[in-house]
Amino acid sequence: MIDVGVLGATGYTGVELIRLLGRHEQVQLKFATSRSNPDRSLAQVFPGAPDFNLIDPEHAALEDVDLVFLCLPHEQSAEAAAAALQAGTRVIDLSAAFRLADADTYRRWYGQRHPAPELLDEAVYGLTETERERLVGARLVANPGCYPTTVLLALYPLLLESAVSGQVIVDAKSGVSGAGRTPKLASQFVEVAEDLRPYSIGRTHRHLPEMEAILARWSDTKPRLIFSPHLVPISRGLLSTLYIPLRSDWVEPQLHDLYLETYTDEPFITILPVGEVATMRQVNYSNRCVIGMTEVDGTLVVTAAIDNLQKGAAGQALQNMNVVFGFEETTGLL
Ligand SMILES: NC(=O)c1ccc[n+]([C@@H]2O[C@H](COP(=O)([O-])OP(=O)(O)OC[C@H]3O[C@@H](n4cnc5c(N)ncnc54)[C@H](OP(=O)(O)O)[C@@H]3O)[C@@H](O)[C@H]2O)c1
């Protein structure tokens, strides 16, 4: 049994995580924080959420828990992670604070100095399926971004075999909860309803360096991405469609076998039969990633769907916790 705390409990990922933690028999939630609503119940602040008393982050006894989950904006996460590690507590950070390997890249993409650059080397990138060995016992886990989770899982089998021959185009769609609960004009109902909006297209989205850095670790071919995310007027769900130029010696049945073999023992990854497509409805409210594929004239078209708040955030964070502490990986997630 371990004791955990959640910082930033009133946001979408925080609430999702607290719901999941309630189903985990080896975890006790000790505190959940909110700056704006301390001393209220989570259920009062977020209708339908578990009835758990919130506290001010200043009063969080970091040293009394084994692990804290950071469901905060990245600036606050970096500082909170440093404080938690100083107190001897492990950290799983859902923000982007520790996903990039170096402080210069962070500064370029996030427009500010990294508040704790000395911790970047230690952070383990928490794409569970590909980083399991490094996650065991890790002190600091950088949970992946939601878009990168789909894109990286969709490309991993091909990269291991260096089967990609050039630039990959990613057309991705996310529900509005991906933008968080903190109010912003661009995610208000009237702004998003009955619209389908591309944003940060091409090579301008902050998830681009995160994805390309991991791809470069897997293969010398280092494919470049053109990445075009879209905001869809639905509450949750994320779907990426990838157009992947293939080396000429790969054919469709071989590729399908490659995906099946790579993910054969993975409890949360489903490879569809050739020609079938992944959809958001197949994964919503689950920690699964569903992947479909079809080959067209030397281009592999891969669809990959997740629930952005589960496999894209809180679910994968819990999966990582299970690996870090040696629990059965599916506990609390099935
Ligand atoms: N939403 C997704 O699908 C998703 C997916 C992957 C990763 N993420 C990342 O996960 C983190 C949390 O995302 P979210 O969607 O849950 O965000 P959110 O809904 O906006 O919630 C943010 C939380 O942080 C607290 N907070 C806000 N500003 C703060 C500040 N300046 N100092 C301290 N606490 C502050 C908020 O509550 P109080 O103000 O009451 O403290 C709230 O509990 C972000 O870094 C996000 O990029 C999100």
Encode pLDDT of 264-274 as tens digits.
Answer: 999 999 999 99
Phi-psi region of 20 (alpha: psi -120 to 50; beta: other; left: phi over 0): alpha
Beta strands at 269-271 and 289-296: parallel, antiparallel or unpaired? parallel
Q: How far is the CA of 12 from the centre of ligand 1 (A)?
A: 7
Question: What are the residue ranges of CATH 3.30.360.10 in the chain?
Answer: 147-308
Mean residue pLDDT of the chain comes to 97
Which fold would CATH assign to domain 147-308? Dihydrodipicolinate Reductase; domain 2 (3.30.360)
Alpha carbon distances (Å) from 49 to 28, 57, 182, 189, 200: 17, 19, 17, 21, 32
Predicted local confidence at residue 282, as pLDDT: 98
Predicted local confidence at residue 251, as pLDDT: 85
Q: How far is the CA of 71 from the centre of ligand 1 (A)?
A: 5
Which of 41, 152, 49, 59 has the alpha carbon at shortest distance from 99?
152
87 φ, ψ to 5°?
-80, 0
Q: How far is the CA of 183 from the centre of ligand 1 (A)?
A: 11
Q: How far is the CA of 222 from the centre of ligand 1 (A)?
A: 32
Say if CB 2 and CB 11 are below 8 A apart.
no
* Cβ(71) – ligand 1 distance below 6 Å: yes
* Cβ(94) – ligand 1 distance below 6 Å: yes
Predicted local confidence at residue 221, as pLDDT: 83
* Cβ(235) – ligand 1 distance below 6 Å: no
Q: Which residue among 71, 141, 285 has the greatest number of ligand 1 atoms within 8 angstroms of its CB, and so is best to mutate?
A: 71
| Opening angle at CA 239, ends 170 and 333, nearest 5 | 130
Predicted local confidence at residue 222, as pLDDT: 84
Predicted local confidence at residue 252, as pLDDT: 85
* Look-up of token digits 């508040």: 115
pLDDT of 106 over the 90 cut: yes
Tell me whether residue 146 is one of the annotated catalytic residues.
Answer: yes
* Cβ(95) – ligand 1 distance below 6 Å: yes
* Look-up of token digits 């280092």: 222
Annotate 55-115 with DSSP letters as a single string. Answer: E-GGG--GGGSSEEEE-S-HHHHHHHHHHHHHTT-EEEE-SSTTTSSSHHHHHHHHSS--S
pLDDT of 134 over the 90 cut: yes
Q: Which residue among 6, 12, 31 has the greatest number of ligand 1 atoms within 8 angstroms of its CB, and so is best to mutate?
A: 12
Question: What are the residue ranges of CATH 3.40.50.720 in the chain?
Answer: 2-122
Q: Could you give the CA distance from residue 113 to residue 5 in angstroms, rounded to a whole number? A: 27
Which fold would CATH assign to domain 2-122? Rossmann fold (3.40.50)
Please give the average per-residue pLDDT across 243-261, as a whole number: 93
Q: How confident is the model at residue 90 (pLDDT cuts 50, 70, 90)?
A: very high
